[in-house]
Amino acid sequence: MTTQSPYVLRTQGVTKYFYDPEKFQVLKNIDLTVNKGEFLSLVGKSGCGKSTLMYVLSTMDTDYEGQLEIAGERLTGKKQNELAQFRNNHIGFVFQFHYLLPEFSALQNVMIPALKLGKYSNSEIEHRAIEKLTLLGMQEHSHKRTSKLSGGQQQRVAIARALINDPDIIMGDEPTGNLDSYNSNIVFDIFKELTSVFKQTIIAVTHDDEFAKKTDRVVEMSDGKITRG
């Protein structure tokens, strides 16, 4: 990670159109800079383009105009395979519906992105995965199949998985959207701790105002434009 540059992520003039059923501009000239260690929430009404923006930022959506740069690397125009490699190395994901692989244990789920990266040996990866699970208070469930875990537990495993490769940025699409308030609070506290203690950068799309209010920075979107933040 380049410690010199203050920002982790920057977009310049990101514009995107939907063509189905008719041409529609969903993102209008978005300029956004996210600094290291920032806990940023992206809010707005349904259809304002906040999720679309996040998928552009996630590098999974490449069909846009403008520039995207993460961790000092310009990502616009790169090939899908390079982007996949980049995501593996630099971005962690937490989704609304957990999306763990149901046939694998919690530990295996956390290990998979690291095994894919292949930076450490298997035993080191296992050690690191247990470390991350311990950080999230899930160590005693590490050998359970994820389909046997509760929603809140699954989301904590998902966060451990997002952390395993020490990403520059964690992206969440409604990370608490499917959780009750108790579990929402746990997940929020974990995010908060990650940003304040470990200087982890987090971008979370949410429509939970309670959640958004407590984050460092709220970016509000409306009609494809950033209206606040």
Give least dist CB 64 to another protein, A. 12
CA atoms within 13 A on the CB side of 78: 20
- Shortest approach of another protein to residue 196 CB, angstroms? 26
Which amino acid, one-letter code, is at 71? A
Judged by CB under 8 A, the chain residues 163 through 182 that form the site for another protein are: 173
- The first and second tokens of residue 123, run together, are 């035993």
Tell me which of 37, 112, 218, 220 binds another protein, using CB under 8 A. Answer: 112
Interface with another protein by CB under 8 A: which range of 14-22, 89-97, 134-142, 216-224? 89-97
Min. distance of Cβ 28 from another protein in angstroms?
20
**101 counts as binding another protein under rule CB under 8 A:** yes
The smaller minimum CB distance to another protein, of residues 117 and 130, is found at: 117
Shortest separation between residue 25's beta carbon and another protein, angstroms: 18
Strand partners, 105: 145
* Cα angle 118, 121, 126; round to 5: 100
Q: How many residues bind another protein (CB under 8 A)?
A: 31
**Is residue 87 part of the contact set for another protein (CB under 8 A)?**
yes
Place of tokens 């997002």: 162
Minimum Å distance from CB 118 to another protein? 4
Does residue 61 interact with another protein by CB under 8 A? yes
Q: Binding to another protein by residue 88, rule CB under 8 A?
A: yes
Considering only residues 113 to 142 of the shown chain, the ones binding another protein according to CB under 8 A are 113, 115-118
Q: Is 85 in the site for another protein (CB under 8 A)?
A: yes
- The answer to whether residue 55 forms part of the interface with another protein (CB under 8 A) is yes
Q: Which of 18, 60, 166, 214 binds another protein (CB under 8 A)?
A: 60
Could you write out the three-class secondary structure of the chain? CCCCCCEEEEEEEEEEEECCCCCEEEEEEEEEEEECCCEEEEEECCCCCHHHHHHHHCCCCCCCEEEEEECCEECCCCCHHHHHHHHHHHEEEEECCCCCCCCCEHHHHHHHHHHHHCCCCHHHHHHHHHHHHHHCCCHHHCCCEHHHCCHHHHHHHHHHHHHCCCCCEEEEECCCCCCCHHHHHHHHHHHHHHHHHHCCEEEEECCCHHHHHCCCEEEEEECCEEEEC
- Residue 200 sits in the site that holds another protein (CB under 8 A): no
Q: Which residues would be at the binding site for another protein (CB under 8 A)?
A: 51, 55, 58, 60-61, 80-81, 84-89, 93, 95-97, 99-104, 112-113, 115-118, 161, 173
